[in-house]
């Protein structure tokens, strides 16, 4: 069954073959045809082929579904009091994670699953059609494996983050915890994970520990990604490049050498920036222009987590990225879609072209520019994932019901 989506005022394809060769590959007055779960055709409305069904997009804009390549969704409890304290002047440190670890260990499986499903729904409503989900609030063999099983209920992009912080019971014996992470915990978690990740930063794991943990994860068949450079300069960024990690995330304190390394590895290692984290910790923002001008591949992700970035809104992240991180609106949209797909090493998503998965978002706006131009306004009004309508968050259903 084929469906023609037509009357698209502005279609962002992320296919430079379209439009004027710009990375966003914008087609004005456009249409697209979906066949089952895939895109079958993209082009000018006047050239559109026939289809079994027809949906008018009512002169609005359509963009690829957002790809959120960095999220921590399996946890219990929340930390709004800590946020309020921080906004009252207390600094952010990695130690706050411990309170979420305690709540997560104490929660039953149904509670954790319900929490993950709620956040997955929030992401979908915000236009996110693919997201990654990390463990990292269990920090025991059983609790990490349980977290990954629960993450696997909502996404295939699951990440083992046993090396989030050293839990309190191992405070005096870090080496024993690292042995656990690289031994029994990895063994129990690897069957449920695609990725291995480490929080390489002050108060978490140093570069030597990180190398040891990532290498063990890779030997167990997982692909590497890394948190580095959030709280201060870190050799972790160059380690991620050296190990061929798919992504190094935060990069807030990237040095000139780090930027050069990321530019040289643009086809392998993505620099993923997380504006929600700087926003919610009132920290300095990284400079995306510096990375992009150097030639690095850059992604934007939510970093959704209860401590330092409790948002599921990619449009919010785009607005902050444009306002405070030196992205152009076009670069921010690319980073939140095709950039996220690159950070997850996915070539089936992030681009609207024949043969790709039919994941796209209709915005109640004439242009994607409104994502940053109208911050905080819920512009996502229709979400299609693998060809299926997933949500109708807007109160304007006649736009999507006009099938003939």
Binding interface with Zn ion (CB under 5 A): 303
Q: Which is nearer to Zn ion, 287 or 303 (CB)?
A: 303
β-bridge mates for residue 5, sequence order: 32, 55
Q: Which is nearer to Zn ion, 33 or 298 (CB)?
A: 298
Task: Report in angstroms how near the CB of residue 278 gets to Zn ion at its nearest.
Answer: 12
Task: Report in angstroms how near the CB of residue 122 gets to Zn ion at its nearest.
Answer: 17
How far is 249 from 305, CA to CA, in rounded Å? 14
Q: Which uninterrupted H or E stretch holds 177?
A: helix 174-180
Residues 6+ apart with CB under 8 A from 397: none
What tokens appear for 320 in the block? 């902050």
Task: Report in angstroms how near the CB of residue 303 gets to Zn ion at its nearest.
Answer: 5
- Spatial strand order in the sheet of 26-35: 38-44, 26-35, 2-12, 53-64, 360-363, 380-385, 388-391
Report residue 234 CA to chain centroid gap. Answer: 22
Q: Are 198 and 163 in contact (CB under 8 A)?
A: yes
Q: Which is nearer to Zn ion, 68 or 303 (CB)?
A: 303
Closest Cα partner for 322 from 371, 251, 362, 270?
A: 371
Task: Report in angstroms how near the CB of residue 250 gets to Zn ion at its nearest.
Answer: 8
Task: Report in angstroms how near the CB of residue 83 gets to Zn ion at its nearest.
Answer: 16
Task: Report in angstroms how near the CB of residue 161 gets to Zn ion at its nearest.
Answer: 8
Q: What number of residues does the chain have?
A: 404
How far is 7 from 28, CA to CA, in rounded Å? 10
Q: Which is nearer to Zn ion, 154 or 231 (CB)?
A: 231
Task: Report in angstroms how near the CB of residue 227 gets to Zn ion at its nearest.
Answer: 5
Task: Report in angstroms how near the CB of residue 277 gets to Zn ion at its nearest.
Answer: 7
What tokens appear for 127 in the block? 């236009």
How far is 147 from 17, CA to CA, in rounded Å? 41
Q: Which is nearer to Zn ion, 18 or 104 (CB)?
A: 104
Q: Which is nearer to Zn ion, 157 or 303 (CB)?
A: 303
Q: Which is nearer to Zn ion, 19 or 138 (CB)?
A: 138
Q: Are 1 and 50 in contact (CB under 8 A)?
A: no
SS3 of residue 272 by DSSP:
strand
Task: Report in angstroms how near the CB of residue 266 gets to Zn ion at its nearest.
Answer: 22
SS3 of residue 300 by DSSP:
strand
How far is 401 from 338, CA to CA, in rounded Å? 29
What tokens appear for 145 in the block? 């494996």
Task: Report in angstroms how near the CB of residue 404 gets to Zn ion at its nearest.
Answer: 46
Residues 6+ apart with CB under 8 A from 113: 150, 153
Give residue for tokens 């570069």: 207
Q: Which is nearer to Zn ion, 63 or 71 (CB)?
A: 71
Q: Which residue is nearest to Zn ion (CB)?
A: 303
Q: Are 197 and 227 in contact (CB under 8 A)?
A: yes
Give residue for tokens 């994860």: 217
Q: Which is nearer to Zn ion, 308 or 331 (CB)?
A: 308
Closest Cα partner for 243 from 278, 216, 263?
A: 216
Q: Which is nearer to Zn ion, 278 or 303 (CB)?
A: 303
């Amino acid at each position: 069954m084929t469906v023609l989506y037509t009357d698209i005022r502005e279609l962002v394809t992320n296919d430079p073959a379209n439009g004027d060769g710009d990375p966003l590959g914008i087609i004005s007055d456009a249409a697209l045809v979906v066949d089952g779960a895939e895109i079958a055709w993209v082009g000018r409305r006047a050239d559109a082929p026939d289809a079994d069904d027809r949906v008018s997009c009512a002169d609005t804009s359509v963009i690829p579904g957002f790809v959120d390549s960095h999220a921590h969704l399996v946890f219990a409890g929340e930390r709004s009091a800590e946020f309020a304290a921080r906004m009252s002047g207390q600094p952010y440190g990695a130690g706050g994670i411990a309170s979420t670890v305690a709540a997560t260990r104490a929660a039953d499986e149904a509670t954790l699953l319900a929490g993950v499903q709620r956040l997955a729904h929030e992401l979908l409503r915000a236009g996110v059609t693919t997201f990654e989900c990390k463990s990292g609030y269990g920090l025991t063999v059983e609790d990490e494996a349980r977290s990954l099983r629960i993450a696997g209920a909502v996404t295939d992009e699951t990440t083992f983050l046993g090396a989030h912080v050293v839990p309190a019971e191992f405070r005096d014996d870090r080496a024993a915890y690292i042995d656990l992470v690289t031994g029994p915990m990895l063994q129990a978690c690897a069957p449920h994970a695609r990725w291995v990740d480490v929080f390489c930063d002050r108060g978490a794991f140093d570069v030597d520990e990180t190398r040891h943990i990532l290498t063990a994860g890779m030997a167990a068949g997982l692909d590497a990604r890394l948190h580095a450079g959030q709280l201060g300069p870190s050799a972790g960024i160059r380690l991620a490049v050296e190990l061929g990690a798919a992504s190094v995330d935060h990069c807030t304190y990237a040095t000139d050498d780090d930027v050069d390394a990321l530019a040289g590895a643009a086809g392998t290692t993505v620099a993923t920036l997380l504006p929600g984290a700087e926003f919610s910790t009132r920290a300095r923002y990284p400079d995306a222009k510096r990375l992009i001008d150097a030639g690095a591949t850059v992604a934007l992700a939510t970093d959704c987590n209860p401590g330092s970035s409790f948002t599921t809104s990619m449009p919010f992240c785009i607005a902050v990225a444009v306002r405070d991180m030196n992205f152009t609106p076009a670069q921010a949209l690319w980073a939140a879609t095709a950039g996220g797909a690159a950070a997850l090493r996915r070539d089936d998503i992030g681009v609207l072209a024949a043969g790709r998965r039919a994941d796209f978002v209709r915005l109640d706006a004439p242009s994607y520019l409104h994502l940053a131009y109208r911050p905080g306004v819920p512009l996502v009004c229709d979400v299609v994932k693998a060809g299926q309508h997933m949500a109708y968050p807007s109160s304007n259903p006649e736009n999507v019901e006009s099938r003939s």
